[in-house]
Amino acid sequence: MSVHIYDMCGKAHCLSSDLLELVALFQKSPLAQGLYDFAVENNLVIETDVSLDCGESVFQPHKNKLILGKRKNRVTSMLGFISGLRRVWHYYQGNEPDIFLKPEDFIKYNKCLEADIENMVLFACWQLRVAGHPSFWREYLSDVNGDIGLVFLRAMEEHPEKQFGHYVLKMSYNQWFTDPERVKSADHDALECFDLKLCSHLERYNQKGENLKVSDLQKIGALPFGGNYLENQRFAGKWYNSLNDPLNKAYLQHIKKEIY
């Protein structure tokens, strides 16, 4: 496996030994390997920044750079690495909310995207467990989003015949929306992003806003090795459409006043 990432000018960036250890483990997870190979094909630059916490990752599209947090343990670092690579995947697939959407649809798209990113971290950890590296899965189950992993396990136990299809991944994906704190945080981030982008697009923004298509949301579930676990997802109901936090509601009303 290549030990370098090349930028758009052809300059080679050598990965640190810590990152190389994680990249070597990608071979045990078809998902992680596929996301990494995709990043290499798109000349992604990968760096570390000690000012970021372990497990954090920041993707800078304008620099085509993924920045990973300092490493305290390889398990937490791996979770952040996979999360960042999935964000890179979505960016190059064109999977990101359009500023010209209705504000509510922008928020909906963003949290559907965040749910997928977390779901892919889970799936990669599971693949590593199956390949003989259980520490990643144990860490995931003990983390704040461990409930998603428990639903994944329960779905496999109750429907073993479906474990090689997309059913189990759909169940864990939907579980993301059941935690109010996860949803509140994603909604707040979406509102801040929308507000910031609106500053430079307000004059061109159509007051009616564009409608979000279900087919656009379904594209989020595409996998690097083929298939799409969200291809039949309807994205209907309060899980996907509600905005329950009072502060987020107030923020949304503030944005609407600017638009209308």
- Per-residue pLDDT tens digits for 209-221: 778 999 999 999 9
The C-alpha angle with vertex 122 and arms to 248 and 184, in degrees rounded to 5, equals: 5
Q: How far is CA 236 from CA 96, 102, 191, 231, 233, in A?
A: 19, 16, 21, 14, 9
Phi and psi torsions of 224, nearest 5°: -65, -25
In this prediction, residue 252 carries a pLDDT of 95
User: Are 40 and 2 contacting, i.e. CB atoms less than 8 angstroms apart?
Assistant: yes
> Measuring CA to CA, which residue among 29, 70, 24, 22 is closest to residue 47?
70
> Measuring CA to CA, which residue among 226, 236, 179, 223 is closest to residue 86?
223
Tell me what the mean pLDDT of segment 98-105 comes to: 90
Rg of the chain on CA atoms, in Å: 19
Cβ contacts of 186 within 8 Å, gap of 6 or more: 110, 111, 114
The pairing of beta strand 65-69 with beta strand 57-60: antiparallel
User: Are 143 and 219 contacting, i.e. CB atoms less than 8 angstroms apart?
Assistant: no
Give the least confident one: 70-74, 141-145, 201-205, 249-253. 201-205
- Per-residue pLDDT tens digits for 74-101: 899 999 999 999 999 999 999 998 888 9
Cβ contacts of 214 within 8 Å, gap of 6 or more: 233, 234, 235
- Per-residue pLDDT tens digits for 151-196: 999 999 998 887 778 999 999 999 999 999 999 999 999 999 999 8
Where do the domains of the chain lie? 4-93, 103-259
Q: Distance between terminal CA atoms of the chain?
A: 53
State the Cα–Cα distance between residues 148 and 154, nearest whole angstrom: 10
Burial class (CB in 10 A: 0-12, 13-18, 19+), 245: middle
State the Cα–Cα distance between residues 137 and 126, nearest whole angstrom: 6
Mean pLDDT score across all residues of the chain:
89
pLDDT band at 239 (very low <50, low <70, confident <90, very high): confident
pLDDT band at 226 (very low <50, low <70, confident <90, very high): very high
